[in-house]
Each structure stands twice: as C-alpha cells, then as structure tokens.
Amino acid sequence: MSLFVASLNSGSNGNCYYLGNDEEGVLIDVGISCREVEKRLKRLDIPVSRIKAVFITHEHGDHIHGVPAFSKKYKLPVFITPGTILYGNLGNEIEAGLINSFSPYQPVQVGKISVTAFPITHDANDPHNFVVASDSVTVGIFTDIGFPCYHVTQHFAQCHAAFLESNYDEHMLEFGSYPFQLKSRIRGGKGHLSNRQALKLFLDHRPPFMTHLFLSHLSQNNNTPDIVEELFSGIAHSTHIAVMSREHESELYHIENNLGLRSKPVRPPVHFLQVQLSLFQ
C-alpha cells in the first residue's frame, strides 16, 4: 500500500520524475541526459533495472531530451502519443519496437503499477499529465498546465501525493526582463501555472488524505523556492510541502495510504466522451 517517488530534476532545464514500488518503477519524462538519470537514480539507491517503462507528457525539449538514449540503452518501452512523436521529431530517434501509444483515461498496467493519462491545456501538440497508482496509493504529476481544467482538478482530488507546477510569481513575471510576447505565452492559458493558481488548486481540490505536495517546475527567473515555501507552508496543515529542484534530485519519498482511503477512478466529462466517440463515426 505504498509508492516511492522522487523528482530527478524539475524545471525548464529538464524534467524527470520517478514513481515505483518495491519491484518496478516508471519514469515520467526524461528531459535530462541518460548519464544524469543514471547518476541520480544511483544516489537514490534505485537500480536502473527497476525502471520498466517511460511515459512522456509532451514534445518540448525539457521533457524529451534524454528519452532516445535512455530508452535505447535499456530497451525500455516508451509510452507516447503519435502527435508527440511527430512534433518532437522522435520518429527516427526511438526504436520502433519500443514505441507504445496511450489513450486518455485508459490505464496502462506496468506490473503492479497503473499509469493513467489525462489531457491538459498547454502549448504543445497533444499534452497529457499522469496519475500513477499502486494498490491503494495514487500519485499525480501535474505540470506544464495552462490552467486547471476539469481533467486536472478531478485527478488532483484523487491523489495521496502530487507533483504540482508552481512556475512563476506573478509580480516577478510582470516586472521582469522577459519580452511581452513570452510573458503572454507563460500566463496566457496555455503556458504554466502561477504560484497563486497552484495554491488555489491545492486549497480548492486537495483531498483529506493528501500527505505530500511537491511544488515543481519553478521558473529560474520568475520565482524562488523561498516565495513558494512561504506561500504554501502557512496553509498546508497536515500536508507535507517540498519544493523540487532544477539542479539535483529530491529525496526518495515514501507515500502511504495511512487512512485506508481509496481514490476512485475519474470518469471523463460527457463532452470529452462525445468528442472521443465522434472520432470513430
């Protein structure tokens, strides 16, 4: 009734998250080099052989940079959408026999681990986030989110722990050195979550059994760990708050379901089902 989780790196310079049990594990994104993944797993005392699959959120370089080399070296299946392959120019980079597709709301079983994708709003071709479950424990990865849509909020409410994007401080972005076009992209609904947007998502949709919140994908130029910690720490109550680094791996966290409460599978909204069905008509 537990999962072990860690951020190997979290930021615009590379994103990679580990989630696993005692027997198998998965990586969500490999935006750092194969060598760095190996070094950081070793420091966490996680054998690479425990990794059984890689799941990719979208095609931006900070999420796919190390995928071809890592997958090729260890012959690992990569779960990725056709749009992400196309727009990430990965068609000739990942061995064809290792490419696997996934569909939103359809769990992929990796040993005793279940990985479920759901669509998000971001300026990518076919972006998704994931929830990972083992026994009665569910952990979510919620990053690169333009705004917290239904898919995000409903899955967040199922999680015993979550990696949640808290990308920028609104004041720092507004008065910082970024050009107007880039500022507009970041805060325009298809970019990233601000600290206050992340806080509102946490306060409005945190389940009573959430034990850990890992604040992720902080901007190097428009945010600081101190700002994020101060904003969240006063209202977190029983939820442990930790800020993930853009320079090194986090500690390995043990997520348990101490209350014995099971999260229920999230059903897609009716309009989403209608769109999916229309594709086959």
- Between helix 67-74 and helix 34-43 the angle, nearest 10°, is 70
Q: How many domains does the chain have?
A: 1
Q: What are phi and psi of 164, to 5 degrees?
A: -120, 125
Phi first, then psi: give them for residue 197, nearest 5 degrees.
-65, -40
| pLDDT digits (tens), the chain, 281 positions | 689 999 999 999 999 999 999 999 999 999 999 999 999 999 999 999 999 999 999 999 999 999 999 999 999 999 999 999 999 999 999 999 999 999 999 999 999 999 999 999 999 999 999 999 998 999 999 999 999 999 999 999 999 999 999 999 999 999 999 999 999 999 999 999 999 999 999 999 999 999 999 999 999 999 999 999 999 988 988 899 999 999 999 999 999 987 765 556 677 876 655 555 444 44
Sheet holding 108-110, edge to edge: 108-110, 113-119, 128-134, 137-142, 161-165, 212-216, 240-243
- What are the pLDDT digits (tens) for 120-132? 999 999 999 999 9
Q: Are 139 and 130 a contacting pair, CB within 8 Å?
A: no
**Identity of the amino acid at 59:** E
The CATH number of residue 140's host domain is 3.60.15.10
Domain residues for the domain of 260 are 2-278
Query: Whose CA is closest to 205, among 156, 239, 165, 257?
Result: 156
Which residues, 6+ apart, have CB-to-CB distance to 101 below 8 Å? 79, 80, 81, 82
pLDDT score at 262: 57
Please give the Cα distance from 125 to 279 (Å, whole number).
Answer: 17
The total number of residues written for the chain in this structure? 281
Asked if residue 17 lies in contact with residue 46, where contact means CB atoms within 8 angstroms, the answer is no
Helix (H) or strand (E) run with residue 110 in it: strand 108-110
Query: How much is the pLDDT for 234?
Result: 83
Which distant-in-sequence residues (6+ apart) come within 8 Å of 215 by Cβ? 164, 165, 166, 198, 228, 232, 241, 242, 243, 244
Question: What token pair was written down for 190?
Answer: 């298809």
pLDDT on residue 260? 63
